[in-house]
Amino acid sequence: MFCPDAEMVNDRVKLLMDRLVARRIRRDPELVGRAYDWLANFREQSRTRKWWIDEWLDILRQGNDEVCRFISSREQSARQMANCSPLYSKPAIGDMFYDLQLRNRLLKKARLGLILLHDRRMKSDVAPSEGQGLRS
């Protein structure tokens, strides 16, 4: 049986978490504004400039729909930016991901999703031999 490695599972969990945040943004349109304010304040108080701060501020300025599209995408840049997302800050989403049961459910869902994806790919790679196929 296929067993996905930890990095694959963690990447899938981050994508699931971003999709949950996107859903939360649709219910709470001010979430993006709170994340922007928190990040702008962090930038003012920070002694060093981080490359990701200005990029995130630009993304957050684009509006809720564009933020949701960006964080829910599988693009490499979006996946890299997820590691430093201000949308995970406590002022933005509160204690949403502090719930250990939710985090465990996300881990299980990510593992299962990767296993099912692997199995589906394996089945599609195997061509039926003569006599095995559709029966009439």
User: What are the tens digits of pLDDT across the range 24-33?
Assistant: 999 999 999 9
Q: For residue 134, is it within any domain?
A: no
Q: Long-range pairs for 28-35 at CB < 8 Å and ≥24 separation? A: 29/64, 31/87, 31/92, 31/93, 32/60, 32/63, 32/64, 32/67, 32/87, 32/92, 34/89, 34/91, 34/92, 35/60, 35/86, 35/87, 35/89, 35/91, 35/92
Q: For residue 23, is it within any domain?
A: yes
Instruction: Look up the domain containing 64 and give its range.
Output: 6-113
Whole-structure pTM value: 0.77
Q: For residue 70, is it within any domain?
A: yes
Q: For residue 120, is it within any domain?
A: no
Query: How many structural domains compose the chain?
Result: 1
Q: For residue 79, is it within any domain?
A: yes
List the single range of 3-12, 74-83, 106-115, 119-128 with lowest mean pLDDT: 119-128
Q: For residue 100, is it within any domain?
A: yes
